[in-house]
Structure 1
């Protein structure tokens, strides 16, 4: 059995650190240019250096996205950007555009290059093409079945790695190459500025009756005709490993630290159990499913892995997430009395029962005994967004523990 890498997204330095602590083998991030998540916080050069140092000190790799579909005006800047990355030292670049690939090979000849899913990698001929140019890894198109991935593995060299999305949002367009955002808003999804119009509610208007909007309804279920469910393969990891996948990729560079921690910890536990035995993995399936449901999601599907999805892979009634837990904060440090310091992310109050989420898999139910501001003043609640407060939970707390509340 293969022992795959667990690859977690990080849209900020805080999320990178949480992903590392909660079980990632590797983290992928975007710089301030050339990535496909322009609305993410992304990383300055200094933050990228700090994040890479933090990850490397704990044996975790960091990959940097440069996977836009480039225009002429992007090429000169790409060369300068890659020159800057020499000093920062990521473990690999994620690229989709052949022109950007060529520049990266010229500027960073020793750097690993991974071919993004944006390059529409749907057959072993494509994998062999990129391998011949020096790529170390190819990210499979999301439209591939497990049978197709297994066939690719059978036709490519063992040292060419297959990376596959296993969890997160599904794009309505082929391998994420979408023109809808650009057409409707002028913001190009292929340049990192997607406005996600696939999640919008649509109506129908007949040409000769302008202003008369008719709802688009399928069997009275709703009007969100492009709104796909989220991918989740936590119950099917043996099939992915048997197909020859080397890296299990989670989508979500726009997501919170709570999301990164929840997904990373759950998949880490599942992979470790599976490495020990398939029986142990099967015994703990209910725990994995319960835990993965504690982060925000839009119902789950297995995507294309077991055949082309039908109408059951869409959500017609609304575009909202299922949200079972609220993120309250991350323990940034503790004092001699056992209190923890955190930045408030959502309101909580003295006397509330909340959950302390730990990297080792434990969830401790605790009570908020006291809240104190940095000047030593007691508070009955923490209502001010991003306020730094000391919190006494009457329980063992450590740096990077996460506070969350069940809704």
Structure 2
């Protein structure tokens, strides 16, 4: 009989305070955020210290944790002020910082004692000796390199007591553990210091210059689909039992720059799958609806990365992609009247009378309906909700709750 000794943590991305609250509401045990320094997502909605305080206070209400990514590769002068920064995070109540650079790790350990440190995936930890080394340096968790296989995770688990965190869903980087200088060369934006322009996802061809016109000529004859170095996205939803049985402590979702539609959907799905397996592993059955749900926010094909072998060409984006059904996040429930079945919606995208829509909420609740009646805040009938963030009242066919989401399929 299978017994689960420890349920792994669902760790979700939170690029903004709204996303932090959404992720926790939809089942995340912990979130990771970025501050205004030392992180690898300079274009994400990074948190001020005041926003961190609010986020930590919210997380505490739900017994959730907040981690801060400070995982740049530090050049000279990049560490200036780091000690004060880490002390501030500690005093705010941040549960851990995610760091890759040894200099920043040492500064944090010496100048902000009591603030737990997690080793970032950028540090490329791929064996248990490395984990034990960092454990001796005072780190309590290591985010493994994305190149580690499932068999290697089992070996690592059997030889170390350090907490293990792995990525289970989201974008994959074409470079080893995300350490890349292509963006620096192509756009003068340093990927290792927060400025990646995702140059690998651009389209490429081999060219020569026409001597007469001075214009480039594609040597491949201007193919319909130029070459790229772009990897498909990761999805481990079908392999939760393997991850749990391998002894992974934290299951990490990528995407601090993604929408609340993405964060809520993916957190919700993995919450359901992990709970279903851990609560009754003997009778666990994969629910196809979980994967169907993930496709509603997928941007690329999905695969399992390095977990079960070296990725083959099918895990690269070549040729015409399969047509992925696209859903638009169109509103969020802010109130519901049980007597009248009227929901109050904060509009996020255009919708109108006659649209087929879907509501979803925590616990994997779903229902579909057609919009038949809606009004503005003053009770005036509406045909279309076209103004961003406008408040709309709508007749609904099933009960909904505040923070439930509303979406529709694109034509």
Place the TM-score, normalised by the shorter chain, in its bin: over 0.9
**Partner of 2:124 in structure 1?**
120
Do the aligned partners of 1:298 and 1:321 also contact (CA within 8 Å) in 2? no
Answer yes or no: is 1:19 the counterpart of 2:58: no
The more displaced of 320-329 and 379-388 is 320-329
Q: Distance in 2 between matches of 1:320 and 1:386?
A: 33
Measured after TM superposition, the shift of residue 20 of structure 1 is 0.5
The more displaced of 87-96 and 311-320 is 311-320
Answer yes or no: is 1:65 the counterpart of 2:69: yes
Structure 2: where are the runs of 5+ without partners? none
Measured after TM superposition, the shift of residue 17 of structure 1 is 1.0
Q: Distance in 2 between matches of 1:373 and 1:47?
A: 32
Do the aligned partners of 1:187 and 1:194 also contact (CA within 8 Å) in 2? yes
Question: Which residue among 256, 260, 264 is the counterpart of 1:261?
Answer: 264
Q: Deviations over 1:328-352 (max 9, x none)?
A: 1222334575534443221101232
In 2 relative to 1, CA 216–235 (structure 1 residues): closer, same or farther, beyond 3 Å?
Answer: farther
Answer yes or no: is 1:90 the counterpart of 2:91: no
**Partner of 1:49 in structure 2?**
53
Measured after TM superposition, the shift of residue 192 of structure 1 is 0.8
State the SS of the aligned residue for 1:164. strand
The more displaced of 325-334 and 396-405 is 325-334
Measured after TM superposition, the shift of residue 326 of structure 1 is 1.1
Q: Distance in 2 between matches of 1:305 and 1:286?
A: 21
Q: Distance in 1 between matches of 2:183 and 2:78?
A: 20
The TM-score, its normalising length taken from structure 1, stands at 0.93
Question: Which residue among 235, 251, 263 is the counterpart of 2:238?
Answer: 235
Answer yes or no: is 1:140 the counterpart of 2:144: yes
Q: Deviations over 1:110-140 (max 9, x none)?
A: 1111100001111212111110110010000
Q: Distance in 2 between matches of 1:146 and 1:221?
A: 37
**Partner of 1:362 in structure 2?**
365
State the SS of the aligned residue for 1:79. helix
Measured after TM superposition, the shift of residue 217 of structure 1 is 8.7
**Partner of 1:129 in structure 2?**
133
Q: Distance in 1 between matches of 2:117 and 2:348?
A: 36
Structure 1: where are the runs of 5+ without partners? none
In 2 relative to 1, CA 204–99 (structure 1 residues): closer, same or farther, beyond 3 Å?
Answer: same
Q: Distance in 2 between matches of 1:333 and 1:96?
A: 43
The TM-score, its normalising length taken from structure 2, stands at 0.92
In 2 relative to 1, CA 193–331 (structure 1 residues): closer, same or farther, beyond 3 Å?
Answer: same
**Partner of 2:324 in structure 1?**
322
In 2 relative to 1, CA 96–31 (structure 1 residues): closer, same or farther, beyond 3 Å?
Answer: same
Question: Which residue among 201, 204, 214 is the counterpart of 1:202?
Answer: 204
State the SS of the aligned residue for 2:90. helix
Q: Distance in 2 between matches of 1:217 and 1:177?
A: 33
In 2 relative to 1, CA 318–254 (structure 1 residues): closer, same or farther, beyond 3 Å?
Answer: farther
Q: Deviations over 1:72-121 (max 9, x none)?
A: 22212222322322332111111111111111112321111110000111
Q: Distance in 1 between matches of 2:83 and 2:345?
A: 40
Measured after TM superposition, the shift of residue 312 of structure 1 is 1.0
- Please report the RMSD computed on the Cα atoms of aligned residues, expressed in angstroms: 2.2
Q: Deviations over 1:305-330 (max 9, x none)?
A: 11111111111136899353211122
State the SS of the aligned residue for 1:252. coil
In 2 relative to 1, CA 73–324 (structure 1 residues): closer, same or farther, beyond 3 Å?
Answer: same
